[in-house]
Amino acid sequence: MPALSLPAGFGKHGLPLGIHAGSSYRHPVTSLGWPSWYVEDYAAQSQGFQSQLASLVCEGVFVKYPKLKVVLLESGVTWLPAFLWRLSKFWRGVRLEVPWLDRSPAEIVRDHFRLTIQPFDGPDDPAAVAKLIDHLQSDDILLFSSDFPHWQFDGDDVMPMGIPEKLHGKIRRDNALATYSRLAEQVA
Amino acid sequence: MAKHVIASLREFPAGSRKLVDVRGRKIAVFNIKGEFFALANRCPHQGGGLCDGRLTGLVEASAPGEYRWSRRGEIIRCPWHGWEYKLKTGECAPDPKLRLKRHEVVQRDGGVYVVV
């Protein structure tokens, strides 16, 4: 069963689908049930995003809507490369379950998903952060966000420490314009 | 390139397969309804022996929820992690960039030869 039902007429207007951290509505955010503490609940949000991302890919949503972009908001970023290695590895072995996927989930995700940079869960060492960003294997995937006024223990720099300089313009401007194409129309 | 005899035709009937060692190369040879295919035995993923894999078909789809069964008996699945390869081309089914080395097979005077 898909983890998200898409409404009729979905995809008609070329709008991206935004998914924000919050909860899993009626369901506990973890497969173990409701966590006792906020710290567990908040850390577990990335599990919810992982499952939602896998569901949208495997259910063939992007086969049906080849132009769709999905923006993950307040999702965290650094869990993504490891999850894509895992998802793509298993896909290769059991591809025949989902034969409508014509390429690896990692490639599909790079084409269709965008992630916002707040909160950013990474190491303090800027060189290690740069390596993590490199694992995303895409300069187009990150979008600026501040999550103001929600404080994330991240400090108040515009960019998380260690994000390579050459990506700043893309993250602050170009990637958002490419994702929200109607925004670009108004700017022009 | 040289031809190396691997079996007599009589001991290699349709539907059977053999793992042969030709000058240190492990090669999986299949007789599919009288047509021979020879591929490098080692799966490029983690080295599983393809000659021990299941011969199967390819599941394809043009839309979510659809399943189409094609190329019956033309796909070998690695016994370790299920990676699928097309016998005819050596291509990994989900990723044609990945390809097993193929060898020509020649039948002559009641013998089966692999070209290496």
The pLDDT of residue A135? 95
Residue A158 predicted with pLDDT over 80: yes
User: DSSP code of A5?
Assistant: P
Residue B3 bridge partners (DSSP): B115
Contact B77, B83 (CB under 8 A): yes
Cβ–Cβ gap A96/B61 under 8 Å: no
The pLDDT of residue B26? 97
Residue B11 predicted with pLDDT over 60: yes
The pLDDT of residue A77? 95
Question: Peptide bond preceding B13: is omega within 30 degrees of 0, i.e. cis?
Answer: no
Residue from B116, B106, B115 nearest B9 by CA = B106
The pLDDT of residue A3? 53
Q: Is B52 helix (H, G, I), strand (E, B) or coil?
A: helix
A162 compared with A155, residue with greater pLDDT: A162
The answer for residues whose C-beta is within 8 angstroms of residue B99's C-beta and 6 or more apart is B89, B90, B91, B92
Q: Is B114 helix (H, G, I), strand (E, B) or coil?
A: strand
Cβ–Cβ gap A100/B94 under 8 Å: no
Chain A residues touching residue B61 (CB < 8 angstroms): 99-100
pLDDT class for A93, splitting at 50, 70, 90? confident
What value does the mean pLDDT of chain A take?
Answer: 90
Residue A4 predicted with pLDDT over 70: no
Mutation site, A57, A92, A102, interface B, largest B CB count within 10 A:
A92
pLDDT class for A52, splitting at 50, 70, 90? very high
pLDDT class for A1, splitting at 50, 70, 90? very low
Number of domains in chain B: 1
d(CA B16, CA B53): 13
pLDDT digits (tens, 9 = 90+) for B28-72: 999 999 999 999 999 999 999 999 999 999 999 999 999 999 999
Q: Give the CATH architecture of domain A17-184.
A: Alpha-Beta Barrel (3.20)
Q: How far is CA A151 from the centre of its chain?
A: 20
Residue B4 gets the label, from left (phi > 0), alpha (psi -120 to 50) or beta, of beta
pLDDT digits (tens, 9 = 90+) for A115-148: 999 999 988 899 999 999 999 999 999 999 988 8
pLDDT digits (tens, 9 = 90+) for A167-179: 999 999 999 999 9
Cβ–Cβ gap A63/B60 under 8 Å: no
pLDDT digits (tens, 9 = 90+) for B65-93: 999 999 999 999 999 999 999 999 999 98
Residue of B nearest to A97 (CA): B59
The pLDDT of residue A185? 77
Record the pTM. 0.86
Q: How many CB atoms lie within 10 A of CB B43?
A: 23
Considering CB atoms only, which of B58, B65, B94 is closest to A92?
B94
Q: Which CATH number fits the domain that encloses residue B50?
A: 2.102.10.10
With a pLDDT cut of 70, the percent of chain A lying above it is 96
d(CA A6, CA A15): 13
Q: Which domain holds residue B102?
A: 3-115
Residue A151 predicted with pLDDT over 80: no
Considering CB atoms only, which of B63, B67, B95 is closest to A63?
B63
ipTM comes to 0.78
Mean pLDDT of A64-87: 95
- In Å, how far is B110's CA from the nearest CA of chain A? 39
Chain A residues touching residue B62 (CB < 8 angstroms): 100
Q: Is A122 helix (H, G, I), strand (E, B) or coil?
A: coil
The pLDDT of residue A188? 59
**Core vs surface per residue A148-161: b (16+ CB within 10 A) or e:** eeeeeebeeeebbe
pLDDT class for A113, splitting at 50, 70, 90? very high
